[in-house]
Amino acid sequence: MKVAIYVRVSTTKQEGRNQELQLINYCKTKGYEIKNTYSDVISGKETSRPAFDSLFKDARMRKFDLVLFWALDRFSRSGTLYTLQKLKELENLGIKWESYTEPYFSSIGEFKDVILSIMSTLAKMEREKISQRTKAGLAASKKRHLVGKRGTDKKQRRKRSDVGVKRGVNISKGN
């Protein structure tokens, strides 16, 4: 079977290579032929992702028989409808799909639609929680006048503050 591997991480601080290596090993044990690996470093909520878009372009040209991804939330965090549409698009092209860490998620299985609806909703909810936590953290930083680089020590913040005062910049107003 010809396989396309899809790997996604949200930030450059995350390591997509770990996902990829395990998926490659899985393909070897199954005797699958890896046609291509598609890798994105972008949020799963984005509906336009370079490697993801390329994967679907190649799918339309029938370059592989199966899309293998680490987990459903690595495939998409854009909600139930979008996720189901993309997986259904693969099925309509005659291409199977499989989640490595969630073996109950595959294009073969009688409960796939029910489970997919629930899991893609949970993935979207998790994305929304992450967004809320990020916004809360930024708001707290803004209140403490720490907007900008995160995690710098008090000495560095004081130094930047002193430079701003010398230049006549009101840091609290964001000038």
Q: Which domains does the chain have, with CATH numbers?
A: 2-127 (3.40.50.1390)
Taking the mean position of all CA atoms in its chain, how far away is CA 54? Answer: 16
- Confidence category of residue 16, pLDDT binned at 50, 70, 90: low
- Tell me the pLDDT tens digit for each residue of 66-115: 999 998 888 887 777 788 889 889 988 999 999 999 887 787 766 667 76
> What average pLDDT does the segment 49-71 reach?
95
Q: Whole-prediction pTM value?
A: 0.63
The answer for residues whose C-beta is within 8 angstroms of residue 103's C-beta and 6 or more apart is none
Distance CA 38, CA 55 (A): 7
C-alpha 146/C-alpha 117 separation (Å) is 40
Summarize the confidence of residues 140-169 as an average pLDDT: 61
CA–centroid distance for 5 within its chain:
14
* Cα separation, 73 vs 120, whole angstroms: 7
Rounded mean pLDDT of 121-126? 77
Mean pLDDT score, 6-21: 77
Q: Is residue 8 helix, strand or coil?
A: strand
117 is catalytic: no
Give the span between the Cα atoms of 167 and 39, in whole angstroms: 45
Q: Residue 33: what are its φ and ψ, rounded to 5°?
A: -95, 120
